Amino acid sequence: MPKKVIVIGSGPGGYPAALRLKELGAEVSIAESWDFGGTCLNRGCIPSKAFLDIGHRAHAFEGLRKLLKDGSGFSFDPGMLDWEKVKARRAGVVAQLRTSLEKLFQAKKIEVIRGRAAFSGPNEITVTGPQGEVKKTFDAAVLAAGTRPAFPPPFSACSGRLTDSDRIFDLPAKPRSLIIAGAGVIGLEFACFFNSIGTEVSVVEILPDLLAGSDPQVKRAVRSSFEKRGVKFYFGKKAERVEFSGGLKTVNLEDGTSLAAEEILVGAGRAADLNGMGLEKLGLAWDRKGVKVDEFMSTAVPGIYAVGDVNGISLLAHSASRQGEMAAENIMGARLAFDAGIVPNCVYSWPEVGTVGLTKEQAEAKGLEVKTSRAFHLGLGKALATGETEGFVQLVFSAADETVLGAQIVGGPATELIHLLALAVKLKLKRSGLREIIYAHPTMAEAIHEALLK
């Protein structure tokens, strides 16, 4: 008899798990309470990149003005942007990908049950949806329910009157001014987009700097770039209350500063979406960060696995996909362990940011002796030719044998280039090994070669 497995959630953790389980011969059912593809496809990675692409085009459009004859009057007017067309483009991209995914499940003959799943026993779930209640027994389960936007105080008291990273795509109009709470990846990407289309953007962050945990050089470069384009930051200041008056929303900070805007976007992280799932019936503990798992994605309850954002290890779609595939393999008898140290971290603003492995500070905190090497894009022929001179490549090596421990890239196609360095970290390549690669000229990848020569 094939092993019966239920997957809860069809996002980037759930659907790869279901597909791999089917390939390995399991009898697979997947429960989904919303649209196929989860947060990534419907409210996160893909729609935000559709927005950012429009913003990047606007940014480049304005840059072309420098090459025109004086008095041409050529410029990008944010007022020309049709907000409904912007939203329609995003919706079209999402719908196309969602339809393709649904057709793939049909072709693979994977059972899809629409509704909210809850454990009703150690080997049974109940899915409540349009079809009523459907009960399924299972031999193993993959929990891939994802997360929802978090609203810390004081925003929690008025969350219905604010927007978040789920609802921002459906704003009825482009805001003339926007306050963003949170200077992490979510906050910075939306700050970049809205700033590029003419919105006045202010970012409030309780921590002393942006991109918590990032290399100091990365933080400095990104902050400088954003500030030059007019984004205002308020670091190290706690928001104490939110007020509404005259069509504006005001955030009052602890130092007496008051910021008013048409919209407030709360991008202060996400919380595990596990309420009402009956985990207590399994004896499985959880909190806002999710369910604890071991390196094999297994929870404390045998046969129950948790992947993606819901386990809190790495809140990234590509981490979720790999974890989903690994959980599927492990359910079917393998023993694959997840290595968070080789996960690329990306920010899709401009400048882009791509990092992997350890920063200098993180390595030294582990007691490692390290050295770094950095090359700036300003010295590259391709960067000068394309006008993308912002940023750098920085490599972190073991001082003992020059093994690559980590890398940070700012600017250029950083989110693409970082994969080469992720491979170097994974394979424990040394500086000499990376230098043997022939880097095409002229390319932005030559910055890696230049850093190796320093």
| Domains, in order of start, for the chain | 4-43+87-147+271-338 (3.50.50.60), 155-268 (3.50.50.60), 342-453 (3.30.390.30)
CB 3 within 8 A of CB 331: yes
Say how many CA atoms lie within 13 Å of 58 toward its Cβ: 22
376 phi, psi to nearest 5 deg: -95, 145
pLDDT in tens, the chain (454 residues): 789 999 999 999 999 999 999 999 999 999 999 889 999 999 999 999 999 999 988 888 777 777 788 767 667 777 788 999 999 999 999 999 999 999 999 999 999 999 999 999 889 999 999 888 999 999 999 999 999 999 999 999 999 999 999 999 999 999 999 999 999 999 999 999 999 999 999 999 999 999 999 999 999 999 999 999 999 999 999 999 999 999 999 999 999 999 999 999 999 989 998 989 999 999 999 998 999 999 999 999 999 999 999 999 999 999 999 999 999 999 999 999 999 999 999 999 999 999 999 999 999 999 999 999 999 999 999 999 999 999 999 999 999 999 999 999 999 999 999 999 999 999 999 999 999 999 999 999 999 999 999 8
**pLDDT score of 50:** 95
Amino acid at 448: I
**pLDDT score of 71:** 67
Closest CA to 202 of 170, 179, 169: 179
**27 — alpha (psi -120 to 50), left (phi > 0) or beta?**
beta
Q: What is the rounded end-to-end Cα distance, in angstroms, of the chain?
A: 60
Task: Find residue 202's DSSP bridge partners.
Answer: 179, 232
- Dump pLDDT digits (tens) for 110-166: 999 999 999 998 899 999 998 889 999 999 999 999 999 999 999 999 999 999 999
Catalytically active residues are: 441
Q: How many residues does the chain have?
A: 454
Tell the burial category of 177 from Cβ atoms under 10 Å away from its Cβ (0-12, 13-18, 19+).
middle
CB 53 within 8 A of CB 68: no
CB 12 within 8 A of CB 324: yes
- Dump pLDDT digits (tens) for 18-39: 999 999 999 999 999 988 999 9
d(CA 405, CA 372): 10
Model confidence, pTM = 0.94
d(CA 326, CA 111): 21
Amino acid at 41: L
Report in angstroms the alpha-carbon separations of 70 from 67, 78, 416. Answer: 9, 21, 37
Q: Which residue has the tokens 């483009």?
A: 89
d(CA 283, CA 122): 9
d(CA 378, CA 384): 7
Name the maximum alpha-carbon separation found in the chain.
Answer: 77
CB 414 within 8 A of CB 391: yes
Q: Give exposure, 284-319, as e/b (b: 16+ Cβ within 10 Å).
A: bebeebbbebeebbbbebebbbbbbbbbbbbbbbeb
Average pLDDT, rounded, for the chain: 95
Task: Find residue 30's DSSP bridge partners.
Answer: 7, 112
Q: Which residue has the tokens 């362990």?
A: 337
- Dump pLDDT digits (tens) for 215-244: 999 999 999 999 999 999 999 999 999 999
CB 212 within 8 A of CB 345: no
CB 297 within 8 A of CB 327: yes
Mind spelling out the 3-state secondary structure of the chain? CCCEEEEECCCCCHHHHHHHHHHCCCEEEEEECCCCCHHHHHHCHHHHHHHHHHHHHHHHHHHHHHHCCCCCCCCCCHHHCCHHHHHHHHHHHHHHHHHHHHHHHHHCCCEEEECEEEEEECCEEEEEECCEEEEEECCEEEECCCEEECCCCCHHHHHHHCEECCCHHHCCCCCCEEEEECCCHHHHHHHHHHHHCCCEEEEEECCCCCCCCCCHHHHHHHHHHHHHCCCEEEECCCEEEEEEECCEEEEEECCCCEEEECEEEECCCEEECCCCCCHHHHCCCCECCECCCCCCCECCCCCEEECHHHHCCCCCHHHHHHHHHHHHHHHCCCCCCCCHHHCCEEECCCCCEEEEECCHHHHHHCCCCEEEEEEEHHHCHHHHHHCCCCCEEEEEEECCCCEEEEEEEECCCHHHHHHHHHHHHHCCCEHHHHHCCCCCCCCCCHHHHHHHHC
**pLDDT score of 67:** 79
**pLDDT score of 204:** 98
